[in-house]
Amino acid sequence: MEQPNLSYINDLAGDDAAFKAKLCSTIKDELPREIDEYKKSIQNNNYTEAANHVHKLKHKISVMGMEKSYYLAEEFERNLKNQSVTLQSEFENILLKMQQFADGL
């Protein structure tokens, strides 16, 4: 499985350590809330709302340098819009990896 990394953030921030720290702080603050919102939508079988949360989470996936995972999330978002949870397990494994990575920032 693809692993989260700081490649994109490092490229974006360059030599600006303060900017890099701000990006990492934003991820650490926002990611757990966004994951919780997604999970609540899934638990409530509100797949349209869950798709909206997946859409937001795709941006974090991209920032964490996980290109293949981004495409899986894109497909999962489409599935949710069609009231299907196909790829849910795979997507939630991505979220787990992301949260573990963010916890270590």
How long, in residues, is the chain? Answer: 105
pLDDT, average across residues 15-44:
96
The overall average pLDDT reported for the chain is 96
As a whole number of Å, the CA-based R_g of the chain is 14
- Provide the pLDDT for residue 1: 73
Q: What percent of the chain has pLDDT over 70?
A: 100
CB contact burial 64-95 (16+ within 10 A = b; e otherwise): bbbeebbebbeebbebbeeeeeebeeebeebb
Residue 20 carries which DSSP code?
H
Output the CA torsion sign for 6, 30, 68, 55.
Answer: negative
pLDDT at 4 over 80: yes
Q: What pLDDT band is residue 24 in, cutting at 50, 70 and 90?
A: very high
- Provide the pLDDT for residue 52: 98
pLDDT, average across residues 30-46:
98
